[in-house]
Structure 1
Amino acid sequence: MRKSAIAGVAVGVLLVGGAGALVASDFLRAVVSDAVQPLPPSSAASGPLDPAAQRYLDAVAAKDADAVAAAFAADAVVVDVGREIKGRDAIRRWAEAEVVGGVYTLLGHTPRAGGTTMLVRFQPGGVGGFRANYHLDITDGLITKATLEYA
């Protein structure tokens, strides 16, 4: 299945490139990269995941946009591949439209002062997917900033 997906992407890129209109989006690069790289083992050695980060993942798994938003501070910011979503209400709307219904696989995480960084595989709608780094700033048990970028 992976080889056929890679072949399909390669053919699509060749067809578009042959027409002189090759457009390489960050999303396309992330999907192709994920298709050709093996998944690393989950990083259990870095200790337990920060409870706020775990609440976020659990809320997505439960398909609960309100619980996703509740993992964030009232004035939190999500930077989703350069796009800023500000405030808990906007984060709830973003989660409802773009996150809930997706499937996360935690591939690893690195605790740091004031937060954590997670390496995840996200499958929007439960299919396909890509790897991403989620840099979470956490204060008083709530996510204050989440910077999401393709890995």
Structure 2
Amino acid sequence: MNVRVYASLLLLVGSTVGCGGDSPTSPSPTAPGGLAPRLSSIQSMIFNPRCIEHHGDHATEAGLDLTTGNAFANLVNVRSVQVALNLVTPNDAENSYLIHKIDGRTGIVGDRMPPDGPFLTTAQIDVIRQWINNGAPNN
């Protein structure tokens, strides 16, 4: 009888190894300096210091205001005035024109962003890409 109980426990423990519930589809990268794939982090660490000189409330190139409180409404599910893509398409960074512009991809209109350099680092772009692929929440 003890052998039967022991075998049952062994089977139960063995069948649950590796079960830990659902995990995120991909880890959230964090760039040096604490940049995280959240709009609030991207706003304070990229948009405010690097973008609003040209895309602020008084200097809006391409009509794009990226100031705090306005960036989300002006980016997410908003069609670019330059090409037939949304600036940010939730869950689809590769088809979001913002990624094309900051990556400097072939087919963009005008210059790679930010035009006054230096360009964003790969880690910074990856965090923006992850935010978009996470659904581009207003967080």
TM-score (norm. length: structure 2): 0.27
- Larger radius of gyration, structure 1 or 2? 2
TM-score (norm. length: structure 1): 0.25
Larger strand fraction of residues: 1
